[in-house]
């Protein structure tokens, strides 16, 4: 571990596709108030056309940025720095004041080989900071873990990941994986299998702004302009505005738009409209073949219909819907919990 006078000296590696200069400026500004050691390394990898502040280095990799080759950019950034630990960052992350002190007080660099911290959206929702992902079914929706939970299937989001350098001598990012191809899930699972420890430091917080600029084709939020805007608004909890965008996108996006419209309606408490939206997604076909995204949407809509039925006291219907969701995703934790909750109602109907 790189230390000066007993202090850990981290290396911050920022992955940039070049479309978010204002976001990078915000990130760099937040580093100044995060309280990080003044000798910390800061490296931007990829493409960035803005002015480079003093103390920040640039590793140009325009071709990789264009291809959304995020794993190759991470590996190059790791190799171009010497600080320990390495802190990998998306370019639309922002540190909260005093972040480093919170991490240091928790002993983050000693407790875990790979660590995450609390990661919130601008609306205050957690963003896959400490989550579970299936090893068997890459389409199965991930789920947030409670900060007290542990799992051999845990992973830390690649938008913020602190890694002790000794891990990187044994486990590298898979350069065959592009952005949003379970790159962070794969890395964390292989590191766990190699015997390294992974954990979460909820006392320290970063904000993930989820900037829509520069989305790659592999991003689940990519698509028509209206659909992408809808996803951004949904993530900001601006549900009424998001519904308008999803309805605009429906002619080209089909069930993708209708499903997300249903999510917004559910958040707004408009249950009957939400049920109608989810039912349209579920009814046309099983969705278990073809594009994996359609499969995920189909069974996710089935699960949400189960939730709505359970809220209305229709436990037998909810039980059947939860069972259907589990048939598509046997590892769907929330559907399994719903199945257990509604078991008695199903037996007495």
Could you tell me if 173 and 33 lie in one domain? Answer: yes
pLDDT given for residue 38 in this prediction: 86
Could you tell me if 167 and 45 lie in one domain? Answer: yes
Could you tell me if 235 and 190 lie in one domain? Answer: no
Is residue 216, in this structure, part of any structural domain at all? no
pLDDT given for residue 104 in this prediction: 87
Q: Which domain holds residue 99?
A: 3-208
Interatomic CA distance for residues 41 and 56, integer angstroms: 7
Could you tell me if 246 and 129 lie in one domain? Answer: no
pTM for this entry: 0.90
In the chain, which residues have pLDDT < 50?
Answer: 1-6, 290
- Work out the angle at residue 29's Cα, subtended by the Cα atoms of residues 27 and 31, and round it to the nearest 5 degrees: 70
Could you tell me if 154 and 296 lie in one domain? Answer: no
pLDDT given for residue 346 in this prediction: 64
pLDDT given for residue 8 in this prediction: 76
pLDDT given for residue 46 in this prediction: 94
Is residue 117, in this structure, part of any structural domain at all? yes
In three-state secondary structure terms, 46 is: strand
Is residue 214, in this structure, part of any structural domain at all? no
Could you tell me if 169 and 277 lie in one domain? Answer: no
Domain CATH number, residue 344: 1.25.40.10
pLDDT given for residue 215 in this prediction: 64
Could you tell me if 57 and 131 lie in one domain? Answer: yes
Could you tell me if 175 and 29 lie in one domain? Answer: yes
Is residue 220, in this structure, part of any structural domain at all? no
Name which of 332, 307, 291 is nearest 132 in CA terms. 332
């Amino acid at each position: 571990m790189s230390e000066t006078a007993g202090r850990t000296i981290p290396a911050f590696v920022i992955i940039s596709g070049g479309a978010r200069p204002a976001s990078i400026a915000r990130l760099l500004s937040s580093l100044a108030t995060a309280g990080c050691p003044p000798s910390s390394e800061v490296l931007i990898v990829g493409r960035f056309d803005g002015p480079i502040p003093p103390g920040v280095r640039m590793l140009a990799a325009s071709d990789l940025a264009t291809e959304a080759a995020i794993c190759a950019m991470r590996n190059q950034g790791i190799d171009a720095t010497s600080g320990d630990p390495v802190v990998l960052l998306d370019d639309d992350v922002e540190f909260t004041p005093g972040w480093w002190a919170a991490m240091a007080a928790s002993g983050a660099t000693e407790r875990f080989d790979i660590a995450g911290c609390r990661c919130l959206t601008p609306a205050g929702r957690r963003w896959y900071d400490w989550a579970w992902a299936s090893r068997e079914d890459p389409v199965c929706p991930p789920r947030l873990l409670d900060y007290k939970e542990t799992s051999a299937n845990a992973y830390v989001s690649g938008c913020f990941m602190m890694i002790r350098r000794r891990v990187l001598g044994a486990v590298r990012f898979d350069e065959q994986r592009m952005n949003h191809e379970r790159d962070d899930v794969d890395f964390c699972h292989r590191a766990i299998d190699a015997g390294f420890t992974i954990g979460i430091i909820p006392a320290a917080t970063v904000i993930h702004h989820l900037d829509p600029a520069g989305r790659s084709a592999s991003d689940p939020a990519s698509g028509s302009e209206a659909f992408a805007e809808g996803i951004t608004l949904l993530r900001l909890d601006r549900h009424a505005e998001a519904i308008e965008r999803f309805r605009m996108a429906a002619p080209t996006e089909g069930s993708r738009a209708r499903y997300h419209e249903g999510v917004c309606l559910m958040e707004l408490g408009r249950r009957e409209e939400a049920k109608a939206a989810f039912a349209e997604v579920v009814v046309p076909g099983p969705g278990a073949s073809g594009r994996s995204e359609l499969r995920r949407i189909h069974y996710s809509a089935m699960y949400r219909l189960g939730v709505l039925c359970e809220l209305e006291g229709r436990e037998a219907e909810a039980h059947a819907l939860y069972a259907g969701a589990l048939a598509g995703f046997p590892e769907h934790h929330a559907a399994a919990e719903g199945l257990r909750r509604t078991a008695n109602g199903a037996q007495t109907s």
